[in-house]
Every structure is written in C-alpha cells, then in structure tokens.
A and B are shown apart, each in its own frame.
Chain A
Amino acid sequence: MNKQIKFYGGVKLDEGKMTSNEPIISAPLEPLYTVPLQQHIGAPAKAVVQKGDKVLRGQLLGEAGSFVSAPVHSPTSGTVRELSSCLGPAGAQLPAVVIESDGEDTAAEPLPIFANWQEASPDELKARVAEAGIVGMGGAAFPTAVKLSPPPNVTIDTVILNGVECEPCLTADHRLMLEHTETIITGARIIARILGVKQIIIAIEMNKPDALEMMTKKAEGTGVEVVGLRVLYPQGAEKQLIYTVTGRKVPSGKLPAHVGCLVTNVSSAAAIADAVCLGKPLYERITTVTGTPVAKPGNILCRVGTPYSSALALCGGVKEDPLKIISGGPMMGMSVYSLDIPIIKGTSGILLLAADEVSQYTPNACLRCGRCNDACPMEMIPGILSSTIEFHHFSLAERWHVMDCIECGCCSYVCPAGRPLVQHMRRAKAVANATRRAAEAASKK
C-alpha cells in the first residue's frame, strides 16, 4: 500500500466532489418511466411485453438479444403505454418501453433467493448475474455476465473491485461504499466464488478516507483486501488500476483477463449481491446530481427510466441557468441537450455547469509540445494521431493503436492549443469499428 507503482501519465484534477457528505435519498415514484432496451454495450434487449400489458416491479421487459447483451426489468408496476424510442445520453435514439406507473409499486415474484450462496455452484450464480441484467455500472455498461465468462485459455487469479471513482464531481460509488459496505463485500465474494478466485482486492482512492476506513473495518476476516490508491486521474481506468494494484500490464488490444485480472465496479458488485441474496434484478442505481447551478446537489437512488429532469427537481432544481449538461462526470461524460433523457444503468452522474465554468476553445494548430504524450495513460501519441485523423488517414491511426484510447480526456485537458484530441480519437474509433463491421458483413456474404 505504501510503495505503489504509478501508472504512466495521468493528470491531477480539482476534485469538486461537493456531494461526498450527502446521504443517498430514494427518488419518489414517477408517473412515467421510459426504459430504454439498450442500456449496455452490445445488442439491444428484445422486448417481451406488448402495449397495454400489466407489469410488476422487477418483471422482465426485454430479454438479452445476443451473447453480449443484458435483459431489462421494469422499475415499477403499471401498464405498458407504448413501445417507442427515446433519446439516449449518447444522442442516439434508443428503443424503449414506456411504463405508466399505477402508483402501487407492486413487486413481482423475486427471483429464487440463494439462502446460502457459498454452497451454490458457480454456474448457477453466473446465470443469476445474467438473468438480473447486471452491467458494469461505472459508465461503460458492459454486461457483467459476459465479463465473468473469460475465454477458456486464461485463468483469472485476482478480482479487483473498483471503488476508485477518480472522475471529479461524482460521489455515487463513495456513498454506496459508506452506506452499503457489507453488500459490496458480499458481492465481491460472490464474484470470487463464480471465478474460483482467492485474491479479492477493493481499491479506493485516498481522497475518500472515510470509505477506506469503513471498508477496511468491515472487510476484516472476510479475506477481502482493501487498498488505498494515490489520487491521480484516471486511476479508476481498468488497465491503470490493474497495473497499480498488481503490477501487471495489459497488452495492447487485450482484455484484463489475459493478465489474470477481473475488474468490476463496486456498484455492480452490490447489484450482484442484491440479485443473489435478495433475488432483485437491476432496475435502480445511485446517481450523483451535482454542479454549481444545482440548488441542493445530492446522491439519489433512481430507478432506471426516471427522466433527468425529475432527478434534478428532487435536488431542488437549478438556481442559475446551466450552460452545459453532462451525463456522467466532467472528464468522460457526454454532453446532452435535453433533460428528457432517462437515467439508465450506466448513468453515474448528472453534472450541470454554469456559464463561467465552461471554457470555449478555438482549436489551434498542434504546437508539438508533447504534453499530451506525457499525460496519456495509455502511452499513446495523441497529438500526432489527431493530425493523422484530421486528414482522414484512419488506417494509419489504427496502426498507431488508436483503438487503445480509453477516452479519459487527459490529452485534451493538458493541450495548450485547445485541440479536441479525444473527439478525433472517438471519430477514428467509430470509423475503425464501422470498417470492421463492413468487412465482417462482406465476408459473411
């Protein structure tokens, strides 16, 4: 814990975590929930309900569409008003089920409870994780059950729970670690049971001493190790976290499983514990609503499908007009232009920025100062890559490992020329993915 390895690059940020001491409050029932069927990476879920159907809380709305997919469950009881589409945080229209709440919030029959999960077989537990629709709740929303099925040729020996929350402003995981410490530890042990792993590490950044202390106290005697990590962005990124905690480096283009590690967010671990011990599918999450324009910033337990506007109203609305609304944190979040967007499984925060907090840059030519190279935690060359991409040399960018980019935003943050480096990377990645899909489609024919 004392002599920690430091990952390459990274930046020191102003934390701005103003909601660290705000206890989690549960959001009241909404009259209308818009539940997107694609809340995760992979294929969208296939709707299993029809217009006019009566649904109960926790009932299945959509089943997993393919191997890399996750089912979606109803956040409350009520009637399916329509199957339509809604605007997602990434700006795309997502297929969605609109549920009109009946105000009674009747729970469906819970999934069978594992009274003694220590005895349950790993396959049963894994099936439950898939069934409960659990996804990575740090933001990327990768289906957890897929993550728990590593390729047959690798062995996983370490489970790392990510309680780093290096993203400024967000405190959802912090509050969860304080208020549901035992659930997280149970979740961690279930994951370890599924994978047959002995070593379980919960990593927490040093700027959350209360959470670190609480976790250490509760973890005593459970075989779970708690480590405090130095405060540096992006410490919570998967590959950087593995390197700091275990000293193993994930090779370019490979998954953490190739170095024997599995990283999952603390919220996901808590969701797994709830699914196994309480039979509760994932239909709610903690979201931080914060920013200077918010009247009473706080951490809210929202059901999936709650519109951003309701979460904001619960925090007292706005005291001044925000100039920018971000879904997620300031470094990796997505700008959104509407508050009608529903909260999904991956929504870790809603951040409002006032006019004087938003900087508007006019991008200039690259100065070749190399600060982005020093800041990039993936040891890439963002400046050179961005120029390449600007001139549409996408294949060259791919050869220079643009696909390794984790879009953490360190390069754009340090760039003195105000270049939108991450945006260029995102474009190259989108083009590379499209090219790959086209090639796959062509080879199938």
Chain B
Amino acid sequence: MIDIVMMTGTGVLLGLAIGLVVRYFGVPVNPLVESLNELMPGANCGGCGLAGCSDYANAMATGRAKPGLCPVMSAEAVAKCCELLGVESDTTEPKIAVVCCSGDDDHAAKQAFYNGVNDCLNAMLVAGGSKGCTYGCLGLGSCARACPFGAIEMLPNHLAKIHADLCTGCGKCYMACPRNVIKLVPRSAAKVHVYCNSPKKAPIKRTVCKAACIGCRKCAKTAGEGQIIMNGYLASINYDNPPAEGIVEVCPTKCLRKAD
C-alpha cells in the first residue's frame, strides 16, 4: 500500500515541478515557426541555402527568407507555407540532378591505377584521378555519400546514376562533385540530356572515351531552332526550350540519351 502512495506522490510532485518550470521558465515559441516546421521535409539537406529545416522555418517566419526556396517541399506544402505567412505563392521550379557523363569502365579509358582513399576529391589531388578524361565522373561515389535521400547509386562499372524518383534537386551532390559533372536542371524539361562534360576537341575526347560527344552537330541541326546549343565542341540542351525525345536517334555516340 505504502509503495503505491509513495510512487503516486512522487509522480504528482514531479509533474507539478515540471508544470511550474514550463509555466515560469518556458521559452516562448512562435506558433508560426512551429506550424512551418511541421511542413518542412526534415531532411536538413541545406538545399535552401540555410543551415537546415528549422533554420529555414525560422528565417521564413522572421521574413529573412521567402517560401519556395526549399527544393524538396511539395507544391502543396509551399502553398500552405504561403497561406500561413500571408504572402503570394512564389514557387521555384523543381530541379533534378543529372550526371553528365557516360564514361563508365566499359567506355572510358583508364590511364592510371588509383588505390588511395575512396573519395573523388582525394583522387583528384593525386595526379587528377585515374580516368583518362579530366572532365568525367571519377566514379568513387562522393556524390552518393553526400546525397541525403539515397538517390544516387554507384554502378559497378564506376559511374554515378541518379534515380529520378528519389532525387529532390537539393544540390548536395552538385556541391560534392569536384569535377562539376553533376548539373541541376529543371525537372519538367529533363527529358533528354547530353551525357558528356568534356569541352575538348573530338579526337582528344575519343582517345579517352568511346561515349564522348564528338561535336558533330547532328543533333543541333535536327532539333528546332535554339533547342540544342553547341558549346564549342560539346552539345548542350537548352532546358528553357528542350528538344523532343526523338532527337536521341541521331546521336552517333549515344551520349545524347533519354533521361534514365
């Protein structure tokens, strides 16, 4: 009997103490921040440019940041944020990351054998990495480890592959890649991509990679005006005015491909 009384008494006393502490020492929380926080994806990826989700919520509530900077949030969540803040809806175009390289082990020549730390930046610091092409994917997976959403798979033949359904376009991989192979493009226009990143002349590229863009301009001529732009010896898609998917048929090296 006495133990039950003791336990109940202790419980009541502690509950009271907690209640009093909350009542008198509690830090007031802006209810707006709380409700914004609930709408946040909680990935803390930093894609908005702030330290994390709660930082962004705080920034929005205090007017330091606009809603819609978060690349991960759904359109509905952004609309709700705008409603809570009482501002006009202003969404950013959702983006997706693309690894602009086809140089896996089957296609790209290896010039050296690298057995150091398994990280792209480390490899870059040792004679620029093992692949012959100095613009392509190093294939050591720094981007995959940086991705907070597990959207990047390292293929066994050393090329990063982005799974479009998991990618939120937060840009972490883009920041992690020391070769700038990963590009962020508007999701709605991401139908075909040029999977090559080397601006070199075709003979140089071809000696190190069988899948490189040779700058033949076939795609640029076949596509409509301004849909594919030639950047020196490298074709690049104009994502404001993307070409139709059928264009991939004309590419002789198959580096112009449908989004995978």
Binding site for B on A (CB under 8 A): 87, 89-93, 334-338, 360-361, 363, 390, 420, 423-424, 426-427, 430-431
Contact = CB atoms under 8 A, between A and B. Distances in A.
Given A93-B134, A360-B115, A420-B116, A334 B127 contact: yes
Given A337-B111, A338-B111, A430 B121 contact: yes
Interface size bucket, B side?
Answer: 10 to 19
A280 to B, nearest CB: 32
B215 interface: no
Given A93-B134, A423-B116, A335 B121 contact: no
Nearest to A390: B117
Contacts of B166: none
A359 to B, nearest CB: 11
B127 A336 contact: yes
A87 B133 CA distance: 12
A90 B116 contact: no
A334 B117 contact: no
A256 B128 CA distance: 31
A213 to B, nearest CB: 39
A257 B134 CA distance: 39
B243 to A, nearest CB: 31
A352 B119 CA distance: 26
B2 interface: no
A430 B134 contact: no
A427 B122 contact: yes
Contact of A335 (B119, B124, B127, B134): B127
A90 B121 contact: no
A424 B122 CA distance: 7
Given A337-B112, A423-B125, 6 more contacts: A90-B125, A334-B126, A335-B127, A390-B117, A424-B122, A427-B125
Contact of B117 (A87, A336, A427): A427
User: What are the nearest 10 A-B pairs in CB distance?
Assistant: A91-B128, A337-B112, A91-B127, A337-B111, A427-B122, A423-B117, A423-B116, A426-B125, A336-B127, A420-B116
Interface of B is mostly: loop
B131 to A, nearest CB: 10
A427 B121 contact: yes
21 contacts: A87-B134, A90-B125, A91-B125, A91-B128, A91-B134, A334-B126, A335-B126, A337-B112, A390-B117, A420-B116, A420-B117, A423-B116, A423-B122, A424-B117, A424-B122, A427-B117, A427-B119, A427-B121, A427-B125, A430-B121, A431-B121
A431 B121 CA distance: 9
Interface of B: 111-112, 115-117, 119, 121-122, 124-130, 134
Nearest to A363: B117
Contacts of B117: 363, 390, 420, 423-424, 427
Tell me what chain A mostly uses at the interface: helix, strand, loop, or mixed: mixed
A335 B125 CA distance: 10
A91 B126 contact: yes
Contact of A90 (B119, B122, B127): B127
B123 to A, nearest CB: 9
A431 B142 CA distance: 14
Contact of B125 (A336, A360, A430): A430
A409 B117 CA distance: 15
A91 B124 contact: yes
B57 to A, nearest CB: 24
Contacts of B127: 89-91, 334-337
Contacts of B126: 91, 334-335, 423
B46 to A, nearest CB: 14
A87 B127 CA distance: 9
Contacts of A336: 127
A337 to B, nearest CB: 4
Contacts of B124: 91
A430 B121 CA distance: 9
A92 B127 CA distance: 7
A88 to B, nearest CB: 9
Contacts of A337: 111-112, 127, 130
A309 to B, nearest CB: 15
Nearest to B115: A360
A424 B112 CA distance: 20
A426 B117 CA distance: 11
A424 B121 CA distance: 10
Contacts of B125: 90-91, 423, 426-427, 430
Contacts of A426: 122, 125
Contacts of B129: 91
A337 B125 CA distance: 13
A335 B128 contact: no
Could you say which of A89, A360, A430 has the most chain B C-beta atoms within 10 Å of its C-beta? A430
A354 B126 CA distance: 19
A363 B116 CA distance: 9
Contacts of A363: 117
A13 to B, nearest CB: 21
A260 B93 CA distance: 59
Contacts of B121: 427, 430-431
